Amino acid sequence: MKDRFASFHPLVNFVYFASILVFSMVFMHPVLQAASLTSAVVYSIMLNGKKAVKFNLLYMLPLLLVAAVLNPVFNHAGVTILFYLKNGNPITLESILYGISAACMYVTVIVWFSCYNAVMTSDKFIYLFGKIMPALSLIFSMVLRFVPRYLAQIKVISNAQKCIGRDVTQGNLLARARNGMTILSIMTTWALENAIETADSMKSRGYGLPGRTSFSLFRFDARDQSVMLVLIGLIALVLFGALMGENTIRFFPSVKWLAVTPRSIAVYIAYFGLCMVPVIINVVEDMKWKRIESRI
């Protein structure tokens, strides 16, 4: 399915992912962790479908289990001793809980990154950083243009050399090395020679004049504004919670977190809401569309 959240302005996408990634790494509170992990998994399945289910079950679940088991084997801090290992080291409840929590955090961040990759395409990234440094965005764009082009040209040269028996796949080891060097040397000559025309084309279109601007297809519209406001509001609430110590948990020497109060429940809800923003947008848009479709 087509992701609606990805169609928002890159700034909205970026603020969302930056905050979510940082929060998921920093806040170890079990309720927040659960919220973040669930949303990450739901959103990744929404984005990548079957592939995401497979990825989550096949790689993320074992990773989570292994990390959760490995921590208590090596970490023996904590006051609640469950039993002793053969070599005399204790296994503690705290280290098991910490292992699970750390593994959860690790997996959550990886799943979020898989979502990030699907939503933040290279042109969005270039656009955002081009705002800060216009020259940089052009360089990015040129790299994306010339790397595939050079790779294709190496293939052409290699094929041409193959037909006179001079490719890297032909002859003995020494000949292969020599042929490889020759191909690279032709490639360099070719690239420099052709770059002259590229430079002419750039100069002839006024490159180098002062006051260059950076054009993009993105527009920050009302829809982006409202979602941005919601995001900022939720982030502020979560940060307020962090300030009050609601979002953290102490594992060693004993597990301890703040008691659940209406304030903490509000923070939990805000955090869950923040994590679910793309999912909510997708669901709402989907429902809207179905309603419109049924009326046609």
Partner 1 sequence: METYRIEDLVFSFPGQERETLSHINLTIASGEFITLCGKSGCGKSTLLRQLKTILTPHGERSGRIYFCGQPIEDMDQRTQASEIGFVLQNPDNQIVTDKVWHELAFGLESLGYDNATIRLRVAEMASFFGIHTWFHKSVTELSGGQKQLLNLASIMAMHPSVLILDEPTSQLDPIAASDFLETVKKINRELGTTIIMTEHRLEDILPLSDRLIVMEAGAIIAQGLPNQVGASLGDKKHPMFLSMPSPMQIQARVSAEPIAPITVKEGRQWLNAFLADKTAAPMPEGKENSKASAPAVIQFKDVWFKYEKNGTDIIKDLSFEVREGQFYCIVGGNGTGKSTTLSLISGLLQPYRGKILIGGKNPAKISAKELFTRNIGFLPQNPQSLFVKKTVELDLHEMLAQTPLSKEEKAEKIRSIVKFAELEHLLAMHPYDLSGGEQQRAALAKVLLLEPRVLLLDEPTKGLDSFFKEKLAVFLQKLNESGVTIVMVSHDVEFCAKYGELCSMFFDGSIITTNETRKFFAGNSFYTTAANRMARHIWTEGVTIEGVIELCLRSK
Taking contact as CB under 8 A, which single stretch among the options 87-95, 153-161, 239-247, 259-267 is the one that binds partner 1?
A: 153-161
Nearest in space to 111 (alpha carbons), one of 14, 49, 50, 42: 42
Residue 123 lies near partner 1 (rule: CB under 8 A):
yes
Query: How near is the Cβ of 169 to partner 1 at its closest, in Å?
Result: 8
Residue 198 interacts with partner 1 (CB under 8 A)? yes
Residue pair 35/272 in contact (Cβ under 8 Å)? The answer is yes
Locate tokens 């996408």: which residue? 13
Kindly state the tokens that stand for 212: 């260059």
Instruction: Quote the least distance from Cβ 174 to partner 1, whole Å.
Output: 11
Q: Which amino acid type is present at position 253?
A: P
| Strand-strand pairing, 90-92 and 81-84 | antiparallel
Q: Which of 54, 203, 250, 256 binds partner 1 (CB under 8 A)?
A: 203
CA dist 268 and 145 (Å) reads 45
Q: Considering beta carbons, is residue 153 or 248 the nearer one to partner 1?
A: 153
| Three-class DSSP category at 146 | helix
Q: Which of 213, 259, 262, 293 is in the footprint of partner 1 by CB under 8 A?
A: 213
Contact criterion met (CB below 8 Å) for 94 and 252: yes
Element of type H or E holding 226 = helix 222-243
Quick one: which segment of 37-45, 62-70, 207-215, 270-278 binds partner 1 (CB under 8 A)? 207-215
Where are the strands (E) in the chain, listed by range? 81-84, 90-92
Residue 70 sits in the site that holds partner 1 (CB under 8 A):
no
Segment interacting with partner 1, rule: CB under 8 A, options 96-104, 106-114, 196-204, 250-258 = 196-204
Q: Which of 188, 201, 225, 254 binds partner 1 (CB under 8 A)?
A: 201
Q: Does 149 bind partner 1 (CB under 8 A)?
A: yes
Q: Which run of H or of E encompasses 37?
A: helix 30-48
- Do 75 and 99 form a contact (C-beta atoms < 8 A)? yes
By CB under 8 A, name the one of 217, 222, 259, 292 that touches partner 1.
217
- How many Å is the maximal CA-CA distance in the chain? 80
Give the CB-side neighbour count of residue 2, counting CA atoms within 13 A.
6
Cα radius of gyration (the chain)? 27
163: contact with partner 1 by CB under 8 A = yes
Say how many residues touch partner 1, by CB under 8 A. Answer: 49
| Segment lying near partner 1 (by CB under 8 A), choices 91-99, 111-119, 212-220, 271-279 | 212-220
Which of 7, 38, 80, 141: binder of partner 1 (CB under 8 A)?
Answer: 141
**Position among 1, 132, 173, 193 found at the interface with partner 1 (CB under 8 A):** 193
Binding residues for partner 1 (CB under 8 A): 123, 138, 141-142, 144-145, 148-149, 152-153, 156-157, 159-165, 167, 170, 175, 182, 185-186, 189-190, 193-194, 197-198, 200-217
